[in-house]
Every structure is written in structure tokens, then in C-alpha cells.
Amino acid sequence: MCVAISFRYNIIGRKNPNEMERAYNSVAQKIYNQEINNERKIFEYLQSVYINDEDFKSFFLTKEITTGGKNKKLVKYILTKIENHISNKDNDFNDANFTIEHILPENFNDLWEEVFDGNATKFVYRLGNYTLLKDHKNRECADKNFSDKKKYI
């Protein structure tokens, strides 16, 4: 529960962590003092930092995360969690056999710009532009156009 709340609040919502830290501290003290002793009550106390589903979906649709540095692991973590949920598998996001593919390449050409009506730049780092591919497939599809890339995905 804490992972889900923290992920929604910090990563997707990009909210200031101070409020969340205060809420977690308050709940921890209540647990320690035996004022609350079950998950349901904990969740009730954490409602102030829980991003509701509608807001989460809205934030998620436009969430941009570059794949440089430590963000690469974050993107891979998110994509692996989604894949595991959909496929009912338990892939490890640290698996080196899977890599992140930008469907719309970071260095796109004019054909991609046409597809996105001159707005390609604003979609390059959105979560919806990424997919996980086996390393060898990623190298094969590289900077191909979308109709060719679909064969690899």
C-alpha cells in the first residue's frame, strides 16, 4: 500500500513529499501507540496523500520521464510492473535481456514529425512512448518507422 501511494504521489503526481512524509509519520506514531492496527484504518489516515484514480490517469497520460541516468531504471520498473500485471508474470525489472525502446525515436526524422502534426517533441519522453523489448529486437528495430516497429513489439 505504501509503495502504491508513494508511487502515485511522488513519481506520477510529482507532489511535494513533505506532506506525504508528515502523513506517514503520523500513521507510524498511531501504529506505535496502537491507535490503529489494520490496513483499512491506515489507508483512511493516508487518504490526504492518495491521488485518486481520475487524477492518476490524467497525470499518467502526460507523464514525461527521460531515460537518462537513474530515470532509465524508473522507466524500466514502471514498464515491467505494467507488463507483469497484464501478462500475469513476474519479470524482474533488473533483467538485462529487456531494454527500453522509444517508439517515437529520441532523434526522429521529418516523417515522424508529420505523424505527430509537428508536435513530436512533446511525446518523446512520455511513458506511453516506451515499450520493453528483448535487447536484440531493440537493436533490430532501432529508428525504423512506426509500421515497421510494430512487427517487433
Q: What is the pTM of this model?
A: 0.82
Per-residue pLDDT, 152: 73
pLDDT (tens place) for every residue of the chain, 153 residues total = 999 999 999 999 999 999 999 999 999 999 999 999 999 999 999 999 999 999 999 999 999 999 888 999 999 999 999 999 999 999 898 888 888 999 998 888 888 888 888 889 999 999 999 999 888 787 788 777 777 777 777
Query: Furthest-apart CA pair in the chain: how many Å?
Result: 62
Q: Report the C-alpha gap between 68 and 120 in whole angstroms.
A: 19
Per-residue pLDDT, 114: 87
Q: Which residues of 122-142 are buried (b: 16+ CB within 10 A; e: fewer)?
A: ebbbbbebbbbbeeebbeebe
Per-residue pLDDT, 52: 95
Q: Report the C-alpha gap between 56 and 115 in whole angstroms.
A: 27
Per-residue pLDDT, 57: 95
